[in-house]
Amino acid sequence: MRAGEGNDPGERATTPPTRRRQEIFLGEGTFPQPEATENLLVNIGPSHPAMHGIIRLFAELDGEELVKADVEIGYLHRGFEKHCEAGPYNNAMPYTDRLNYVSPLINNFGYASAIEKLLGIQATERCEYIRVILSEISRITDHLTCIGASAMELGAFTVFLYMIKAREFLYETVEAVTGARLTISYGRVGGVKADLPPDFEAGVQTAFRETRTVLDEVHKLLTGNRIFMDRMKGIGTISKEEAIGYAITGPLLRACGVPFDVRRATPYWVYDRLDFEIPVGEVGDNYDRYLVRMAEMEQSMRIVEQALDRLPGGPVNVDFEGRPFSLPAEYVDRGKLGKTGGLLLTPLKLSPNLRGQEAPLHHAVNAPDKRAVLPSKETTYGSIEGLMNHFMLIMDGFGIRPPAGEAYFAVEGANGELGFYVVADGSDRPYRVRCRPPCLPPMAALPRMVEGSMVADIVPTFGSINMIAGELER
């Protein structure tokens, strides 16, 4: 009950009037309308269970209603762009892993492609297929995390556990290829670190079977769920025009009904050869975003299955002339002792994800460009040209040196357009690397999405944005 309400003097006496702070100091009656209420300023975050990722939301509340909100970010700013300028081009690759750490492969490939654009080189067809396959697997893991986490915040813990289970299967396939789950550093300028392992396709099939089961279960649990729909429908809505003005891309823009997808608008790699649909929503609320993400996962699986069918070259696990593979340690020892006779032609058996590339795989997944791609181990240890090539790419002041110029390359990240704008000055390190973070625009629009709604609506809206602090703040 508000102060001053009720006409019975006895009732008023039992309800202590809410006094303004000024009145406590200046005495009663300083303000003519003591019954006026004051908006309450509340800090939500930076450390709050429902704020996955550290941001601070200043919320001005009138009761339960959010009058005004201001977002403060920057708690995870690590100076990615400054660090990129400090080292050679390939040294930025591990930093890009840490931009969007739920789908790091897309960042890797986006950055590598931007440098390739600067150099004017083209990755091999097999490499582009590998990039597409791994990007789409990453997109699924990202969407699973987003939906799982925001469902958990609305009380659906089962969904979170199911989705994380499916994500585990996908991470296992990623781990089989790259050797790591999150900090993968698998992309390379001109190629990828290693070829796909021999049993990759079977692993993907298992993972997709599990993921499809989980998606089916989640559809049954959430899509028609009364509680879930009440929390999601009509909440966090943003119109098509506003979303475009805020430069929102990805699932959030598609939920507004705009079929913009970088994979379709400006096709890169081999996306123009693959058949997929772009799911769109209607009104642009949280529920549409949920549906768009659910549909996109199925589309991503379709893309991966098509790409695996068409993967050129097939699995490369036998030497093309049937010679025995030798062990890397013996190989290096022979090379260092100068016994290089025949080394160049002896195929090497390397662990695909840890040591580098043997010659037959090297040509399949790397661009034939000596300015950008490290030679295979056989060439490095078996020939003086290979050794020189290797040094020219490793030595300080040499390395990859794109001609002076600038290029912007955009890929469709899990949250929208992930762009890399790189300025080269002709030296071996980038002059400027700018990452266009896909989740910054929705975060800028967050106050617009939640103002006027209830405090509790912040949670699903924030969850649907899928803010990844690593890429937001770089």
Partner 1 sequence: MPMDGSAILARLTERFGAAIRETHDYRGDHTAVVERPVALDVLRFCRDDPALRFDMLMDLTAVDYLRYPGREDGPRFEVVYHLYSVAENHRLRIKVGVEEDDPEVPSAVPLWSIADWYEREVWDMYGIRFAGHPDLRRLLLYEEFVGHPLRKDYPMNRRQPLIGPRN
**Binding interface with partner 1 (CB under 8 A):** 73-74, 77, 79, 81-83, 86, 117-118, 120, 242, 244-247, 258, 260, 265-266, 404-408, 410, 417, 419, 421, 423, 425-426, 431-432, 434, 436, 440-441, 443-445, 448, 473-474
Q: Which helix (H) or strand (E) holds 290?
A: helix 286-310
Distance, in Å, from the CA atom of 188 to the CA atom of 412, rounded to the nearest integer, reads 18
Taking the least distance from each CB to partner 1, the nearer of 243 and 361 is 243
Distance of closest approach, residue 248 Cβ to partner 1, in angstroms: 8
Distance, in Å, from the CA atom of 398 to the CA atom of 427, rounded to the nearest integer, reads 8
Distance of closest approach, residue 250 Cβ to partner 1, in angstroms: 12
Taking the least distance from each CB to partner 1, the nearer of 126 and 474 is 474
What are the structure tokens assigned to 24, written together? 């406590």
> Which residues, at least 6 apart from 91, have a Cβ–Cβ distance to it below 8 Å?
429
Residue position matching structure tokens 């303000």: 31
Distance of closest approach, residue 265 Cβ to partner 1, in angstroms: 5
Taking the least distance from each CB to partner 1, the nearer of 84 and 316 is 84
Q: Which helix (H) or strand (E) holds 304?
A: helix 286-310
> Which residues, at least 6 apart from 11, have a Cβ–Cβ distance to it below 8 Å?
none
Taking the least distance from each CB to partner 1, the nearer of 101 and 431 is 431
Distance of closest approach, residue 78 Cβ to partner 1, in angstroms: 10
Taking the least distance from each CB to partner 1, the nearer of 156 and 400 is 400
Distance of closest approach, residue 414 Cβ to partner 1, in angstroms: 17
What are the structure tokens assigned to 254, written together? 């598609």
Taking the least distance from each CB to partner 1, the nearer of 154 and 443 is 443
Taking the least distance from each CB to partner 1, the nearer of 17 and 257 is 257
Q: Find out whether 436 and 47 touch, Cβ atoms under 8 Å.
A: no
Q: In 10 A of CB 40, how many CB atoms?
A: 11
Distance of closest approach, residue 277 Cβ to partner 1, in angstroms: 18
Distance of closest approach, residue 443 Cβ to partner 1, in angstroms: 8
Taking the least distance from each CB to partner 1, the nearer of 325 and 431 is 431
Give the sign of the dihedral formed by CA 254, CA 256, CA 259, CA 265.
negative
Number of H helices, E strands in the chain: 20, 8
Taking the least distance from each CB to partner 1, the nearer of 356 and 402 is 402
Distance of closest approach, residue 251 Cβ to partner 1, in angstroms: 15
Distance of closest approach, residue 419 Cβ to partner 1, in angstroms: 6
Distance of closest approach, residue 280 Cβ to partner 1, in angstroms: 13
Taking the least distance from each CB to partner 1, the nearer of 107 and 211 is 107
Name the nearest CA neighbour of 370 among 191, 196, 193, 194: 191
Q: Find out whether 372 and 119 touch, Cβ atoms under 8 Å.
A: yes
Longest alpha-carbon distance in the chain: 107
Taking the least distance from each CB to partner 1, the nearer of 391 and 408 is 408
> Which residues, at least 6 apart from 236, have a Cβ–Cβ distance to it below 8 Å?
285, 286, 289, 449, 450, 453, 457, 460, 461, 464
Distance of closest approach, residue 423 Cβ to partner 1, in angstroms: 6
Q: Residue 47: which region, alpha, beta or left (left: phi > 0; alpha: psi -120 to 50)? A: beta
How far, CA to CA in Å, does 349 sit from each of 121, 129, 300, 323, 376? 28, 23, 33, 11, 12
Q: In what order do the strands lie in the sheet with 40-44?
A: 40-44, 56-62, 65-72
